[in-house]
Amino acid sequence: MNTNHALTDREIVKLVSLSMVRLKTTSLFIHSAGWILLFIFPLLFMSDIESIGELLTSMYYWQFCLFYIALFYLHTYWIFPFLFFKKRYILYGFAVICLFASVYMLKPFDQLIVHNSFSRREGEPPPGLVPPPRLGKPMHDRPDFRPEPSESVERLPKGDHIDITSIFLFVIMMALSIAIETMYQWRETEKRAVQAEADKISAELSFLKAQIHPHFLFNTLNNIYALAITQNENTATSIMKLSNIMRYVTDEVLEDFVPLSNEVECIRNYIDLQRLRLGKNMQIDFSVNGNQERVKIAPLLLMTFIENVFKYGVSNHHPGSIIIKIVAERQHIYFFCQNQIFTPTQNTNREGVGIVNTRQRLNRLYSDKHSLNIKSEDNVFTVELTLYS
């Protein structure tokens, strides 16, 4: 069982790494191809090599490109993920309207063409055209001379002109931005799902090695044996509680989420078996409130804290108390535990491996939908955890 799980962990880590490499490669390719197309687009309107060279050295050409690059990354990495994915649709719509208004008012493509047209010296013919020979009296010296509007002037947009090309580029940019960010979020969700599977398997192994380690099993079996020798009426019940814990660990832990009632039942059985070795000086206040069937929780998420309570908060020589509370609401699950620290260790002021792993599971499974507060003051260890639906 342990060997198979170890192989599965390695395969999952490899799968996550390959997924990240593919995501970065695909993203880099899409970005590069998009900006190359943007840089080439204005060149399609040039008639000859000289015009293209003039455009590439124009400040307005690079302003045009940088304008759309700034709009793209502003929408991709700020507006879309922080407004749309956070379900702030009104603010997102307002932000998109502002971006569209900036394109509509500034007319970046028209401005590029106009400034490129006027960049030539006055009176210089367009590239590729030979000026006609001058015959007789110069035209501008004749009294009936009326200068015709030049090609550059005719290409000036009127005040009410709509820059269709700029708007078209804006629409393409928005569609590409949404597609890229949506793909990225989908890949991130897939990666978290794969990582959650690895965390779930690691949690099962950690529980089997920590909570249900041989020391616990030997003590529990010895206590049950003592009950059997004395023909105590709780013998059969104790055996059943241990059996239920092992069944929960080996079967239901494979599920992504289980009803809170299943987790509570495992905790209750664990506490009852721990009572067999505790003296009368230890008081355990364990309470559960709310409808446990209506909410679900990741299996074994709370057992790390429960195990720490009985590992460091129990004494056979000094009186003490343990408080464990679970409250189930429609929108959240609240967990609280508190105990005195009787067993001094070098790790008292820092989190152990079990709690670090639990933090990682919370970040993967509940992301920003949880609140964990752990503190140790005046030789009292307290844990408060809230899980939001």
CATH for 346 = 3.30.565.10
How many CA atoms lie within 13 Å of 188's alpha carbon, on the beta-carbon side? 9
Amino acid at 312: Y
Same domain flag for 21 and 90 = yes
Instruction: Using the predicted structure, report yes or no on whether residue 350 has a pLDDT greater than 50.
Output: no
Instruction: Using the predicted structure, report yes or no on whether residue 288 has a pLDDT greater than 90.
Output: yes
Q: For 8-53, how does the pLDDT look when each residue is reduced to its tens digit (9 = 90+)?
A: 444 555 555 555 566 566 667 767 767 777 777 776 666 565 666 6
Residue 140 lies in a domain: no
Same domain flag for 172 and 46 = yes
Same domain flag for 282 and 375 = yes
- Judge contact between 384 and 330, C-beta under 8 A: no
Same domain flag for 159 and 16 = yes
Distance separating alpha carbons of residues 69 and 172, to the nearest angstrom: 12
Same domain flag for 21 and 167 = yes
Residue 143 lies in a domain: no
Same domain flag for 240 and 172 = no
Same domain flag for 19 and 159 = yes
Copy the structure tokens of residue 280.
Answer: 């009368």
Nearest to 297 by CA among 274, 273, 272, 267: 267
Instruction: Using the predicted structure, report yes or no on whether residue 301 has a pLDDT greater than 70.
Output: yes
Q: For 111-155, how does the pLDDT look when each residue is reduced to its tens digit (9 = 90+)?
A: 887 776 644 444 444 444 344 444 444 544 555 555 554 444 444
* Continuous H helices in the chain: 2-40, 49-56, 59-74, 89-106, 108-118, 151-154, 164-210, 214-229, 235-250, 260-275, 303-312, 353-365
Residue 42 lies in a domain: yes
Phi-psi region of 140 (alpha: psi -120 to 50; beta: other; left: phi over 0): alpha
Q: 348-371 b/e with 16+ CB inside 10 Å = b? A: eeeebebbebbeebbebbbeeebe
- Measured CA to CA in angstroms, residue 166 lies from 58, 72, 171, 178, 320 at distances of 18, 13, 9, 18, 74
Instruction: Using the predicted structure, report yes or no on whether residue 3 has a pLDDT greater than 70.
Output: no
Same domain flag for 98 and 227 = no
* pLDDT band, very low/low/confident/very high, at 100 (cuts 50, 70, 90): very high
Same domain flag for 174 and 283 = no
The lowest-confidence range among 86-95, 147-156, 288-297, 298-307 is 147-156
Please state the domain count of the chain.
2
Same domain flag for 295 and 165 = no
Distance separating alpha carbons of residues 17 and 40, to the nearest angstrom: 35
Distance separating alpha carbons of residues 251 and 254, to the nearest angstrom: 6
Residue 303 lies in a domain: yes
Domain extent, residue 51, equals 2-127+155-189
Residue 203 lies in a domain: no
Query: So what's the pLDDT on residue 50?
Result: 62
Distance separating alpha carbons of residues 70 and 47, to the nearest angstrom: 29
Residue 146 lies in a domain: no
Residue 138 lies in a domain: no
Same domain flag for 171 and 262 = no
Residue 171 lies in a domain: yes
Same domain flag for 252 and 341 = yes
Q: Which H or E run includes 285?
A: strand 282-290
Query: So what's the pLDDT on residue 248?
Result: 84
